[in-house]
Structure 1
Amino acid sequence: MLDNIRKLEKRILNELASSYKRYLYDAIDFSSQMIGIVGARGVGKTTLLLQYTQTLKETNEPYKSLYFSYDYPTNIDIKLIELAEEFVKIGGTHLIIDEIHKYTNFSLDLKAIYDFYPKFHVIFTGSCATSIYNSQADLSRRVVLYTMNGLSYREFLELKHTITLPKYTLHELLENNVAIVNTLEKQFLPLEFFNEYLTFGYYPFYFKDTNQYLRHLNAVINQTIDIDLVNFGLVKPNFTHKLKKLLLIISESEPFELNITKIAAAIEVSRNTLYAYLHHLQLGGLLNMVTSSKKGISKLSKPEKLYLNNTNIFYTFGTESKIGTIRETFFVSQLYHIHKIEVANNGDFLVDNAYTFEVGGESKSFNQIKDIPNSYLVIDTDSTENSKKIPLWLFGFLY
């Protein structure tokens, strides 16, 4: 068994083309016994695993690490616990498993490996956190889970220009944005490639096949709904078209214009089923739901605003979305997974219960937020000299 896996591993590693390491690579504590990396299809989880496998083989004896993917038909019937047992016997220390959610009893096997081999390391990828935690065995106390997002604007520019750019915390952006913009402008023109990023730049596979990007992204959307959500038991195969129609409706609407009752009627489901569908699309990395500070997100809660997960998805539908919706979608996509973001009572968004943001064009005024402490305008411009007016693109440097 191991000999065949080694041959496949060698071929896959030889085909690894990308040396660029995503933001998450340096954030992971690889000393943890069991690590899970989850995220939407296409964001680069497999590449990260292969890069880590390559690093292990360069810094330790190559036989001690093994990359294995359940995405290959020849591997699907291999029992994980038996693979781990055989690998440990020959001195293996690191088992790197891709697409683990495609293995039926992965949670039970992971639990056994964790308990039986405390010095053995397992790093794996899965489609979403729900597939890991809502499984047969309790992994919440055993697995250190990381979520991987698509490319930030910073990462897109690094790949585009083969340069290195710094990332900043939200606090740094709020305190020093004028100086930061002045520094960054020496390396690139802030808006020269911003529209390209908004249209094509969120998923790393853009740089592998630029001309077919939107076709590949459309396939990612369909596979997420038709395969992942179905296999997780979240939706029945004969209802997947309703989720796709729901995404289309959201792409054609402004966030505040969404009427839950009308949407439920349009796709012919109950309100409660609609809320469940929204939750599923969010788990699949296709949607972001933003509630008010008075509400929490649950399967049956009413979100205040609905956004596609990233701006690129708009263009797969060919919809003419208003620029205001594109701006807000970008802002939400860059903050959603690293900060708490809610709909503000005054202004557009409340972040971390501390900062209020109003998002708009260059002529946007402070009228709506002038009396609110810690409030900022996020405007669609290359730079400003007012520290309370922050260029929209700069929020693409948070990770």
Structure 2
Amino acid sequence: MESLFNTYTRRIKSVRLNFYRYLYSRIDWNDRLIAIKGARGVGKTTLILQHIKNDFPDLRKALYVSLDNLWFSTNSLARLADYHYTHGGTHLFLDEVHRYPDWQTAIKNLYDDYPDLHIVYTGSSMLEIDHKQGDLSRRQIVYTLAGMSFREYLKFEGIADIPRVDIKTLLQKHMSIASSVTESVRILPLFEKYLRQGYYPFYKDTFQGYGMRLQDVARQVIEADMPAVDDIQFSTIRKVRKMLMILAGRVPHTPKMAELYRELETTREQGLKMLYSLERGGLLSLLSYEPKNYRNLSRPDKIYLENPNLMYALSERVDKGTLRETFFYNQVSAVEEVLLATKGDFLVGRNMLFEVGGRNKSFDQIKDEPDSYLAIDDVEVGYGNKIPLWMFGLLY
């Protein structure tokens, strides 16, 4: 057990406090049971380590452990929690919770058996936390951490600290906001850099190996996280890998699912499960004209990679139009419901219609539609209902 405490103190000492993700200030750390969901690599571990370093002068009151540690091969979470509690511990922070067998029951028991113990847990696999939420749903508060927005990237780089704006304010005041930003910042070259590498905070630590690191993230989601959720065979893992790479080369993909299933030598049911697992693992985005119903999986109407950085890491050729649409959906869907639109590209909040394109894009396709807007790339400042694409990265 001493090794766990040594690892904990090393992690706390090394964590940096010069930048905080948007979610940090939104979490009510006083709640007894907190879940933080998010894709691999978006910064969940750093978030909780920063909280411990800031709010626990006496580090013995808190304990951080990653549940994929080999110590848990022969020891239980219950034993660790009891030792921590009986030695004066008040807060337990559990990382990679999906790597612990029957984690939901284990956490439920801790919650019930230690009424004044505060528990925070994270899970890289969004699928597992959603799938097994039932027994904990009445007890826990759930937060979701997205990857870095363009606004956060600018702050992380020390370039600009732009206040977050909601989408309605953006639509109304985009000209004045853009003018104030671009007075001192050449925004378009920075936007291009962000699209290539800036969504995952670890980009600063990887230098020229960022693309390879993203490929490794995808591999870990498929080979480590998904088997932790379901008892799947190695042959299925190979099919999921193949599915991801096929779709990465075809996005945006309007699925002919029967052809894809034949190519993967799988059934419709298994194919849909693999597809939605890739979405919840933070690797794909599945769009439809109607809201998703995860209890009744259906064929999506369009498929994208989850964010522009993944496009550069997994695709041999990055199409500019697809890159723009991927960015728009990725950033806006973190704060608003986004559906495919029968006219234009995206329907936001059920009433705002958006067409995404380059600087010469016209209103022809949506000219007669109410509450319609253009999200335009390659411009610093917009006009009227033409809004610079980069500004949709200011929403969180």
TM-score interval, normalised by the smaller of the two chains: over 0.9
Q: For residues 392 and 311 of structure 1, what CA distance do their matches in structure 2 show? A: 13
Of residues 33-42 and 89-98 in structure 1, the stretch that sits farther from structure 2 once superposed is 89-98
Q: CA deviation at 1:257?
A: 4.1
Q: Residue 49 of structure 1: SS of its match in structure 2?
A: helix
Change (3 A) 1:275 1:12: same
Please list the CA deviations of residues 306-330 of structure 1 after superposition, one character each: whole Å capped at 9, or x if unmatched: 1111111122234213211111111
Q: For residues 332 and 363 of structure 2, what CA distance do their matches in structure 1 show? A: 22
Q: For residues 270 and 149 of structure 1, what CA distance do their matches in structure 2 show? A: 32
The reply on whether 1:335 has 2:332 as its aligned counterpart is yes
Change (3 A) 1:385 1:191: closer
What pairs up with 1:319-334 in 2 under 5 angstroms?
319-334=316-331
Q: Residue 214 of structure 2: SS of its match in structure 1?
A: helix
* Residue identity opposite 1:199 in structure 2: R
Counterpart of 1:40 in structure 2 is 39
Counterpart of 1:189 in structure 2 is 186
Instruction: Report if aligned partners of 1:251, 1:321 keep a CA contact under 8 Å in 2.
Output: no
Q: For residues 292 and 258 of structure 1, what CA distance do their matches in structure 2 show? A: 14
Counterpart of 1:165 in structure 2 is 162
Q: For residues 54 and 287 of structure 1, what CA distance do their matches in structure 2 show? A: 34
Q: For residues 231 and 240 of structure 2, what CA distance do their matches in structure 1 show? A: 11
The reply on whether 1:382 has 2:388 as its aligned counterpart is no
Q: CA deviation at 1:162?
A: 5.2
What pairs up with 1:1-399 in 2 under 5 angstroms?
1=1, 3-17=2-16, 19-58=18-57, 61-135=58-132, 138-161=135-158, 163-233=160-230, 235-255=232-252, 257-293=254-290, 296=293, 300-399=297-396
Q: CA deviation at 1:196?
A: 1.5
Change (3 A) 1:202 1:301: same
Q: CA deviation at 1:337?
A: 3.0
Q: For residues 25 and 307 of structure 2, what CA distance do their matches in structure 1 show? A: 23
Instruction: Report if aligned partners of 1:176, 1:387 keep a CA contact under 8 Å in 2.
Output: no
Q: For residues 286 and 299 of structure 1, what CA distance do their matches in structure 2 show? A: 21
| Number of residue pairs matched by the alignment | 396
Q: For residues 311 and 231 of structure 2, what CA distance do their matches in structure 1 show? A: 24
Q: CA deviation at 1:134?
A: 2.9
Q: CA deviation at 1:164?
A: 2.2
Q: CA deviation at 1:82?
A: 2.5
* Residue identity opposite 2:86 in structure 1: K
Q: CA deviation at 1:136?
A: 8.8
Q: For residues 234 and 377 of structure 1, what CA distance do their matches in structure 2 show? A: 45
Instruction: Report if aligned partners of 1:36, 1:145 keep a CA contact under 8 Å in 2.
Output: yes
Q: CA deviation at 1:62?
A: 2.8
Q: CA deviation at 1:266?
A: 1.9
Q: For residues 371 and 136 of structure 1, what CA distance do their matches in structure 2 show? A: 44
Please list the CA deviations of residues 251-292 of structure 1 after superposition, one character each: whole Å capped at 9, or x if unmatched: 222435432222222222222322111111011110111110
Of residues 358-367 and 233-242 in structure 1, the stretch that sits farther from structure 2 once superposed is 233-242
Q: For residues 38 and 76 of structure 1, what CA distance do their matches in structure 2 show? A: 24
Q: CA deviation at 1:173?
A: 0.8
Instruction: Report if aligned partners of 1:42, 1:204 keep a CA contact under 8 Å in 2.
Output: yes
Q: Residue 193 of structure 1: SS of its match in structure 2?
A: helix
Q: Tell me, which stretches of 5 or more residues in structure 1 are unaligned? A: none
Please list the CA deviations of residues 144-166 of structure 1 after superposition, one character each: whole Å capped at 9, or x if unmatched: 11111111111111122354221
TM-score for the superposition, normalised by structure 1: 0.93
Q: For residues 391 and 231 of structure 2, what CA distance do their matches in structure 1 show? A: 37
Q: Percent identity?
A: 37
Q: For residues 131 and 247 of structure 1, what CA distance do their matches in structure 2 show? A: 19
Of residues 201-210 and 104-113 in structure 1, the stretch that sits farther from structure 2 once superposed is 104-113
Q: For residues 254 and 57 of structure 1, what CA distance do their matches in structure 2 show? A: 46
Of residues 213-222 and 228-237 in structure 1, the stretch that sits farther from structure 2 once superposed is 228-237
What's the RMSD between the two structures over aligned residues? 2.0
* Residue identity opposite 2:36 in structure 1: I
* Residue identity opposite 2:103 in structure 1: F
Q: Tell me, which stretches of 5 or more residues in structure 2 are unaligned? A: none
Change (3 A) 1:298 1:107: closer
Instruction: Report if aligned partners of 1:342, 1:350 keep a CA contact under 8 Å in 2.
Output: yes
Please list the CA deviations of residues 91-142 of structure 1 after superposition, one character each: whole Å capped at 9, or x if unmatched: 3211111112111132112112222333321111112343224339711111
